[in-house]
Structure 1
Amino acid sequence: MSESSTESDHLCVLVHGLWGKPSHLDFVASALRDRHGDNIHILSAKENSGHWTYDGIELGGERLAHEIEETIGALDQKGQKIQKLSIVGYSMGGLIARYAIGLLHSQGVLDKLEPVNFTTFATPHVGVRTPLKGLRSQIFNGLGARTISMSGQQLFLIDEFRETGRPLLSVLADPESIFVQGLKKFRHRSVYANIVNDRSVVFYTSALIKVDPFHDLDNININYVKGYDDVIIDRDNYLLPLTPEDPSSESSRFWRQCKAFAFGLPYYLLILILIGPASTIFLANSAVQTIRSRKRIRLHGEGKNGKLFGRYRVPLLVQDVQHAMEDVFENVNARQEPAYLSGSEAEEVELGHASHPKSSGPDGSSKFPTLALSPEQFAIIDSLNAVGFHKYPVHIQKHRHSHAAIIVRMPKGGFAEGKTVIKHWLDNEFLV
């Protein structure tokens, strides 16, 4: 779905997430039009809608690259010359976008125009594996990985991508890959990451960080950016010193916790009621969609899907030339408390990546424990941080579904804080 003025030379591509559709980014598109009008042409990508997102990041990235090239070609035939490109990815759409960027780079497309902005909102750059150890990790991360076909395997980093013998997300972040080389071409790169209540994409993976400074909200003093309604957190200094507590602070904290429990009680009751039948329906549907997805992937690989994608099968490394059921799925892993590495384990991680900044609090201190991530995940974080991103923690407090609220995924009063997020992005990170 392509829209906006025929006068603009700047194409902005909006990419939805897992189970998504173009309308999920309607508010983002509307905000872009209101702010920039005829200066931008918007493409709300549609080739990966719905269950087609089961097909994996590779196939989704090829479809997206093809859709972008088709759009640029169609506009060119109408006399509209695209000279600038920006891409916005939401949730898994950010990973599909990064794959497509590598393909566009390999095809020379990024040499013919100016890559300007790349932004992701709540994107699992490091996968969606819950930081756990031992048996719990095998159970909870194993279950999620097997419910959404190829995409699930890739998001949980249990796949082996092509002949590399490595997970796709690891290859996607390899410094020598076409994907990182293409990403570096964008002048501005930014990520927005929810610090709480994102049941799909927790903070560490969307913010590319090895620790969680916001794990205990009652015992920190968040440093908000002025003018953005205590939603956007200062990217250079997340936390301020704690102020002396008055005698009533303990009782205040108790009542805050009671209020939070009461607020979430209807939601938890609903989950308990739905967990049995909804899980059965969800898993049955997942089995059906996985079979259909494998068929699409096979036909795609054989070139029998009606479109020619063979030219995207390029060398990857430069040196080698649905809501209730969705909620249940999201909560399988999200309800688990993360595990952390011991002091000696954390030291080993840092020694193994000594060329990169030490995992620590935003002020450079090491007061936050290191999450129990996998070696591949630590390497992904180091590699992408070396590329460079402006990172904005987002504190959505008025709705429990922050993953949808961060982009105002649907017209809903409770998602108003997401409008503040988009305003901050347009004010500070999106340049025409």
Structure 2
Amino acid sequence: MDHNGTSQEAEHLCVLVHGLWGNPNHLEVMAKTLRQKYPAEQLHILVPKGNSGNFTYDGIEVGGERVCYEIEDEIETLKNRGQQIKRISFVGYSLGGLVARYAVGLLDSRGVFDNIEPVNFSTFASPHLGVRTPLRGWHNHIWNVLGARMLSASGRQLFTIDKFRDTGKPLLEVLADSDSIFIKGLAKFKRRTLYANIINDRSAVYYTTGIAKQDPFVNLGKIKLNYLEGYSDVILDPRQPVAPLDSEEPQFSIYERVLKSSQTTFGRLPFFLAIIFLLPIGIAAFTINAGIQSFRSTRRIKLYERGLAGIEPGNYRVPLLFSGMRDAVEGAFEGLNSSQSNEYLVEGTEEESAPDSPSSKSSSHESMEKGNENRPHDPPTLALAPYQFRMVQALDSVGWRKYPVHIHKVMHSHAAIIVRSDRKGFEEGKVVLRHWLDEEFII
């Protein structure tokens, strides 16, 4: 895939970062769509290659440093041929959104943003709060323990069981610390936009991709979805995404009702079916592969730390806080992850009523987000960990334009949201990309 462009006129660099188990080809349709709208004279596109495939096991820190290195190398290469980059944008898909946030902090701390203006920061289905299931119930505990140990460093970080350097905190909590280089760098972008699937995302559910402590889309049979004009059936209106269901006006087709029924009435069934049928084959294969890849990842990380992988990590180990402070494998992981059910806090519990909790303060400084305060119902608060509530508050403090996405014609919305492959079932993802380019992306 090569859509970066050959013109020396482009002053805007757009960096596309793929997700777990991913490679640059996953972003080919996105890159093509960008190029169709913006010619090479207007936009230079970079899709970093250093984290392809199993290299995504190596963790957000290592991945972010690799991306940072490729960006600086690209800017220097363009400069040597007479092209000056004056503006920069980031697009992160899935895990790539977290890797991009890490790279942004490094670039800002290294003074890159002193000469290059940060413009767009966009994420698609990125688990900003991690992927741990809110802890209520024995099967959720088991999944959070086992799942975290199957993906090497990336798994520990996504399930927030790691201790990042000498902070004593998970990397994702440091990434969302209001005093960190990462939040300070993120805040410098003109626009921060995220797209979050409300259903059928087996890798990253709505609360984490939408940076939310509530999920108003748990029971679609009891609400009416409000779509944005021109993007009907896919992009919800972020100001008021849901409304009370008009009983005289059916909301779902027969197919959708059957699908939703299978998701609610038999919501726990996939977990037990996975144990019965996948344990002998799929889970065994996944576990064996996870062990092999974790071993290889650990070895790569050791070489990387010693500067034997082509990058000197010491160049990127800046102070963290300014205040002193493949398909079968992926399918097995997604299948087990999607079998876990979210649990909720009881109204009035400590996490909800604490004076410094997110529920006691405004969730965003964006006018778009203020409209969400008047929703027609008040969904229960998810049983997130205390540090996840703090992450919501810190991330929302920089302001996001959040778009819930209703991809319902295909069961794999995590792949469809960015049209990960140009297949017929992913047309709804093209609507998402069209909205992003027409309404959100600033050139």
What's the TM-score bracket when you normalise by the shorter of the two chains?
Answer: over 0.9
- 1:295 equivalent in alignment to 2:296: no
Q: Distance in 2 between matches of 1:346 and 1:196?
A: 29
Structure 1 distance, partners of 2:84, 2:108, is 19
Please point out which of 341, 355, 358 is paired with 1:351.
355
Residue 276 (structure 1) shift: 2.8
1:20-43: CA deviation from partner (whole Å, max 9, x where unpaired)? 000100111011100111210000
Q: 1:156-180 CA deviation, whole Å, 9 max, x = no partner?
A: 0000000000000000000100000
Give the counterpart of 1:424 among 427, 431, 435.
435
Structure 1 residues 262 and 391 mapped into 2: Cα distance closer, same or farther (>3 Å)?
closer
CA contact 2:363–2:397 (8 Å) conserved in 1: no
Unaligned runs of 5+ residues in structure 1 are none
The percentage of aligned residue pairs carrying the same residue is 50
Conserved? CA contact 2:3–2:35, under 8 Å: no
Checking the alignment, whether the CA contact within 8 Å between 2:3 and 2:32 is kept in structure 1 is: no
More helix, by proportion: 1
TM-score (ref. length: structure 2): 0.91
TM superposition score normalised by structure 1: 0.93
Match of residue 306, structure 1, among 301, 304, 310: 310
CA apart distance, 1:229: 3.1
Residue 254 of structure 1, CA deviation: 7.8
Paired residue for 1:381, among 388, 392, 399? 392
Alpha-carbon distance change, 154 to 420 in structure 1, aligned in 2, over 3 angstroms: same
Contact kept, 8 Å, 1:356 with 1:386, in 2: the verdict is: no
> Counterpart of 2:50?
47
Task: Name structure 2 gaps, 5 residues minimum.
Answer: 365-369
| Between 172-181 and 308-317, the greater mean CA deviation after superposition | 308-317
Distance 1:301 1:395 in 2: 42
Q: Is the Cα–Cα contact under 8 Å of residues 363 and 396 in structure 2 kept in the other structure?
A: no
Q: Are residue 315 (structure 1) and residue 325 (structure 2) matched?
A: no
How many residue pairs align between the two structures?
428
Distance 1:112 1:298 in 2: 34
Residue equivalent to 1:89? 92
Matched residue of 2:349: which SS? helix
1:402 aligned to 401, 413, 422, which one?
A: 413
Give 1:395 deviation, angstroms.
0.2
Name whichever of 73-82 and 272-281 sits farther off.
272-281
Partner Cα distance (2:193, 2:3) in 1: 24
The alpha-carbon distance between structure 1 residues 138 and 297, as it changes in their structure 2 partners (threshold 3 A), is same
Match of residue 229, structure 1, among 219, 227, 232:
232
> Which aligned pairs between 1:144-183 and structure 2 lie closer than 5 A?
144-183=147-186
Equivalent position to 2:29, from 6, 27, 37: 27
2:334 corresponding residue in structure 1 = 330
Q: Is contact 2:121–2:192 with CA below 8 Å preserved after alignment? A: yes
Match of 1:276 among 265, 275, 280: 280
Please give the alpha-carbon distance, in whole angstroms, between the structure 1 residues aligned to 2:8 and 2:201. Answer: 38
Instruction: Tell me the amino acid that sits aligned with residue 84 of structure 1.
Output: R
Specify the code of the residue in structure 1 equivalent to 2:362: P
Q: In the TM superposition, what is the alpha-carbon distance from 1:245 to its structure 2 partner?
A: 3.3
Whether the 8 Å contact between 1:210 and 1:371 is mirrored in structure 2 is yes
Shift of 1:228: 1.0
Aligned residue identity for 2:90: I
Question: Partners in 1 of 2:295 and 2:67 — Cα distance?
Answer: 22
Which residue identity lines up with residue 396 of structure 1 in the other structure? I
* 1:10, distance to aligned residue in structure 2 (A): 0.5
Q: Is the 8 A contact 1:229 1:420 kept in 2?
A: no
Q: 8 Å contact 2:175–2:183 — kept in the other structure?
A: yes
Name which of 106, 111, 117 aligns with 1:114.
117
* Farther off after superposition, 162-171 or 362-371: 362-371
1:218 aligns with 2:221: yes
For the 8 Å contact 1:130–1:334, the answer to whether it is kept is no
**Pairing partner for 2:197 from 194, 197, 200:** 194
Distance change >3 Å, CA 260–CA 368, structure 1 → 2: closer
